[in-house]
Structure 1
Amino acid sequence: MGLYQAMQILGFKTYHFYECIVNHGLPHMEVLQEAVIAQCNDLSGIKKYTKADYEKWLGEYECLVEVPSHVGTDILEAYADDPDVKFILTERDPDKWVTSVNNTAGALIDMPYMFPFVILKYFDATLYRFLVLNETVYRAMSKCTKPGDADNAQALRKQYTDYIKKAKEIIPADRLCLIKLEDGLGWENICPFLELPIPTQAYPDRNEPERFQKLVQGFLQPKINAAIMRLSAVALPVVGAAGWAAMKYGPSAIAALTKGR
């Protein structure tokens, strides 16, 4: 989330996965899931998104962070010919990227099937959609493997390296800022490229797993509480046990799942 926050500091209205789920909620989560499925599953029957679709969905934003990697390189192709659009491509060691993904989205992959979420997800539409969206995005990146599967790391690594390779081929060199994260990422990398002065504010911290854990906890807990209340309205005989279990295990389950593996 560091680059997302950095672009906001620079004054850009920026769209990120956080913006999608926290600030826009259910409608945008549904659109993102549809876009991911359309790009990754030719048998889905969903038409792949075009530039017009992206404009309808994201037209109010000036900057996209992370989302292009979820929906595939077609979105890069849609804007590659626009001379006013610049691209910042961050590249890192593929094995470190795999670890990061499995410590964030991958850490939640089993949550929909664990108690109490296997029940509570049906009592809050946003909670359900978040869990489904996270699973959809992760499976698209991992070729339907899960953390711990023998071919999981290999599938994720290939998906990542293929994306980076194709992105470099699509984006015009004169509008591409390529940053290797191992060499550092800060204002000195992006501000000259964007022709903007370097802010006095420090560049945001890049502790992705920790930020992701806080995001998930802050976002999910109210949804879990709402689901418990709805469950209690239709299942009074078991609400005592269900409510106690959800309150007792909900926060700890989220924390355990988002600590990484």
Structure 2
Amino acid sequence: MKVIVAGMPKTGTKSMNAALKKLGYSVYDFAENAFLLGDHYNKIAFEGWTTQDFWDMYENVDAVVDFPAHFFWDEIHKAFPGAKIILTTRSSEEEWLRSLEKQVAMNDGSVLFKLMPWLSPTSRKSMGALALLGQVIFGGTSKSILGSKTHLNKQMVVKRYRQHNAYVLHSAPKDKLLVYNVSEGWDSLCEFLGVPVPEEAFPHKNKGGNIVDTITTDFPIFSKIQREIIVSSIVVSSSAVLTGVVLYKYGVSGIFSHARGCWDFLTTKIVLS
């Protein structure tokens, strides 16, 4: 681990992911943190953690960005004390909140995001930890039971943003910390990391909060999740059709009669054996 991006979501983390990759770093972003490391974050969320846990999670990765890893930046730094820390920020709290609100609205309108917890095993095994950590990190955001609407406590999330940034500024070693806005481009970032400035323009990702397009093209794990959703949808649809055919042919009483016959047959076989 060489670089820990400690900035909150909606502070240019997708741009940082792309920029660090262009600079030659291997990067774990939200998708990898949430789904490849889902079992680890389940343990962290519900049981607690050790420094060794974070070493095991990130020993083969150069850089980490975004939720939920940004919240544990200090624990990750304990495991990798030589790593540099980048606190990504927005120009104001109000700008950050507007960006977060737009992102939440787009997430709520995404069919993919709605189906993931129900039809993707890869996604579902991480949902408990992510939901709990989201409550802790953002201060009381919650979804309805069907995941159709996210309640955002604006005052609380701004307070959390302020507290998080203040903690990083107070606690991170000053000689290893860069406070950075992605609008600055390559120069200050590359100087801090000690690497040459690329010739191509600095990448600006997820502008306008269109995260669905970004993750489905930039993160291979979401191709797996989409395949799982398709397969699960086929299984559910086939089961529904089969159930309908059986109900039409036998009726409810007929189904129970056939089930009872099968049960009697199996129990008789067991007794005779």
TM-score by length of 1: 0.69
| 8 Å Cα contact 2:119-2:228 kept in structure 1 | no
2:179 aligns to what?
178
1:50 match = 50
Residue of structure 1 in register with 2:66 after alignment: 66
- Residue 72 and residue 106 in structure 1: after superposition, are their counterparts in 2 closer, same or farther (change >3 A)? farther
Equivalent in the alignment of 1:97: 96
Please report how far the alpha carbon of residue 16 of structure 1 lies from its aligned counterpart in structure 2 after TM superposition: 1.0
> For residues 162 and 154 of structure 1, what CA distance do their matches in structure 2 show?
12
Tell me the equivalent position of 1:154. 155
Match of 1:32 among 27, 37, 41: 41
- Aligned residue in 2 for 1:12: 25
Match for 1:140: what amino acid? V
Query: Does residue 235 of the first structure (1) align with residue 270 of the second (2)?
Result: no
Unaligned runs of 5+ in 1: 38-43, 241-261
Number of matched pairs: 218
Supply the AA of the counterpart residue of 1:91. Answer: T
Structure 1: distance between partners of 2:196 and 2:229: 43
Query: Does the CA-based 8 Å contact 1:6-1:203 persist in structure 2?
Result: yes
Give SS of 1:72's match: helix
Cα pair 1:2 1:205 within 8 Å, conserved: yes
Deviation at 1:51, TM superposition (A): 2.1
1:155-234 mapped onto 2 (5 Å cutoff): 155-180=156-181, 184-215=183-214, 219=222, 221-234=226-239
CA RMSD in angstroms, aligned pairs only: 3.4
Q: Which has the larger radius of gyration?
A: 2
How far the C-alpha of 1:94 sits from its partner, in A, is 1.8
Structure 1 residues 128 and 189: CA distance shift in structure 2, 3 A = same
Percent of pairs with identical residues = 20
| Residue 212 of structure 1, CA deviation | 1.0
2:264 alignment partner in structure 1 = none
Alignment partner of 1:177: what SS? Answer: strand
Label 1:135 to 1:99 Cα distance change in 2 as closer, same or farther (>3 A): farther
Aligned 8 A contact 1:121 1:227 in 2: no
Q: 1:86 aligns with which of 73, 84, 87?
A: 84
Task: Give 1:134 shift.
Answer: 5.2
SS in 1 for 2:184: coil
TM-score by length of 2: 0.66
What is the letter of the counterpart of residue 59 of structure 1? E
1:97-136 equivalences in 2 (<5 Å): 97-105=96-104, 107-108=106-107, 117=115, 121-129=117-125, 132=128, 135-136=131-132
Q: What secondary structure is seen at the aligned counterpart in 2 of 1:104?
A: helix
Contact kept, 8 Å, 2:102 with 2:209, in 1: the verdict is no
**5+ long unaligned stretches in structure 2:** 1-13, 143-148, 246-273
Per-residue deviation, residues 157-215 of structure 1 (Å, max 9, x unmatched): 1111111101111111111111245xx23111200111111011211114344441214
**Shift, 1:153, TM fit:** 0.7
